[in-house]
Amino acid sequence: INLFQIKFSIKISELAHCQIVWKVGNLCLTLVKNKPFVIVKAILSTVLSNPMIVNGWHYVGRKMDVADFEWAMWFSTFRNHILFALTGHVIFAKIFTLVAPKHRSFIFGVYGSLAVLVTMGWTFMAMVLSHCFILYSVALVKKKWLCFAAGLSTLASLKLEPYNSWQETLVTGSFDLQDILFYGGCGFSIMRCMSFGLENCERKDGNYTFSDLLRYNFYLPFFFFGPIMTFDRYHAQANNVQLTRKEREMWNITTKAVLHLGIILLVDVCFHFLYILTIPGDIKLVVKLSDWCLAGLAYSNLVYDWVKSAVMFGVINTVATLDHLDPPQPPKCITMLYVFAETHFDRGINDWLCKYVYDYIGEDHTKIFKELLATICTFTITTLWLGPCELVYIWSFFNCFGLNFELWVAKLFSLPPFSTLERAMGEAMSRRIRGLFNAANFWAIVLYNVLSLNSLDFAKMVARRLIFKGFPLSTLSVLLVTYCGVQLVKERERQQALKDEPEPVKEKAE
């Protein structure tokens, strides 16, 4: 899109000033953000009295923020179970990859199904198999609309009352039910079955087998928490018998594993010193914070959610890479997001939606009405995936609007007199103007996504303080720091784009 293209450059001295302002702004943000916890003891006592703050490192007298139940489940409640299951998978996968590489996808499926059966019980296993059987039967008809209808209906039965409660009660008696395991396992299973059905519709000769679906669906590292890898990619990679490693690939895998371990320890330290997840839930406390502190709190929550997604998917991806798979990569860092088109925290779901819905309907994403239809369909499915409720409706509406608004603005600025004016002003000034748009866009992304992470009241308070009550000082100062950060990100992307360009072929002198 012309408005957001990245190859225009600005002066090095201007970039240096942007870097200084960005670093100073972040330093001030850190100092202001931590000031209430250091100086105002009343605020500190209010935070520590919250039920989400529990005893942590008793030997240094620090309490721990446990507001994120998903992280707590991963690295405390189910830590040993997850480590045991994934370690067993790695060992069995390695043995059978060496002994019988042709049958390794079969071993993946057998081990995964046994692990799910032992962990979740036979009733949960029967429910997942029934979903697989129903959606496989529909896939044999080779009608895409029927695959969507059956898959989304099955997903709706898992997300809407009273059907989800009824299914949950069926499974409760077999194991100590954890909602995230139940809904995660069933939800991802349905999405994988839909991918299988849609890929089967594309196959010209014959059908994929039910065994192919089970091998794909019960690959343990992806089963409960994703990411979703579309069937065509998984089937091709899992059945590849030419297994080779790239140069220094094992070194890179080891480095990533150590990096993830370091990040996990760092997050644990942050939970004992920065209570950024609990504070937004206490509106009476949030009211006392300064504008900069409030902006930093909103931004920090998004950064944490990105770190959580990067670590969780990174750990799973490390295991998948050991199995010679190329899984969806972790999400793009929130600090580098300034357009809605790149905003996602689960690249697997994003790839699934783009392949089967967004790109299929929107095609090249240059036509306004096709783009509108594509985004509405995409966010309708996303709303169903997340679980329909007021907060999700608001989040979906604003993100859908943001994605379309980018195209509308781009279309407007591609028409005269704006396009003529842009060509006359030069690359540097054009990039500066884009940077202003992108800085405002960045905070729109932050505010829209704070909705899904915290609460509507917290998001409204941040918006009111930054846009109205904080104007002009807080608004313009935050926008200035964001603008400088956006310019640094755009420069990094520009340099990367230049590196990725193929070098021109030099003609031989005659």
- Among 12-21, 201-210, 320-329, the minimum mean pLDDT is found in 12-21
pLDDT tens-digit series, residues 46-68: 666 777 777 877 777 788 888 88
Say yes or no to pLDDT of 389 above 70: yes
Say yes or no to pLDDT of 39 above 50: no
The H or E element containing residue 54 is: strand 53-55
CB atoms within 10 A of CB 256: 16
Tell me which of 10 and 365 has the higher pLDDT. 365
The pLDDT, as a whole number, for residue 166 is 81
The pLDDT, as a whole number, for residue 126 is 92
Q: What is the average pLDDT score of the chain? A: 83
**Would you say 2 and 457 are in contact if contact means Cβ atoms under 8 Å apart?**
no
- Among 146-160, 386-400, 404-418, the minimum mean pLDDT is found in 404-418
pLDDT tens-digit series, residues 221-270: 999 887 899 999 999 999 988 888 888 889 999 999 999 999 988 888 88
The pLDDT, as a whole number, for residue 393 is 93
The pLDDT, as a whole number, for residue 10 is 60
Say yes or no to pLDDT of 284 above 70: yes
The pLDDT, as a whole number, for residue 242 is 84
Phi-psi region of 368 (alpha: psi -120 to 50; beta: other; left: phi over 0): alpha
* End-to-end C-alpha distance for the chain, whole angstroms: 42
Q: What is the mean pLDDT of residues 487-505?
A: 77
The pLDDT, as a whole number, for residue 172 is 62
The pLDDT, as a whole number, for residue 190 is 95
Which tokens go with 64? Answer: 């721990």
pTM, entire model: 0.87
The pLDDT, as a whole number, for residue 57 is 78
Say yes or no to pLDDT of 8 above 60: no
The pLDDT, as a whole number, for residue 3 is 40
Say yes or no to pLDDT of 36 above 50: no
The H or E element containing residue 230 is: none
Band (pLDDT 50/70/90 cuts) for residue 83 is: confident
pLDDT tens-digit series, residues 340-380: 888 777 888 999 999 999 999 988 888 899 999 999 999 99
- Whole-angstrom CA distances from 245 to 249, 252, 322, 326 are 6, 11, 10, 12
pLDDT tens-digit series, residues 117-173: 888 888 889 999 999 999 999 999 999 999 999 999 999 998 888 788 888 777 765
Say yes or no to pLDDT of 33 above 80: no
**Which position has the token pair 């989800």?**
164
Say yes or no to pLDDT of 210 above 90: yes
Band (pLDDT 50/70/90 cuts) for residue 15 is: low
The pLDDT, as a whole number, for residue 12 is 59
CA dist 211 and 496 (Å) reads 43
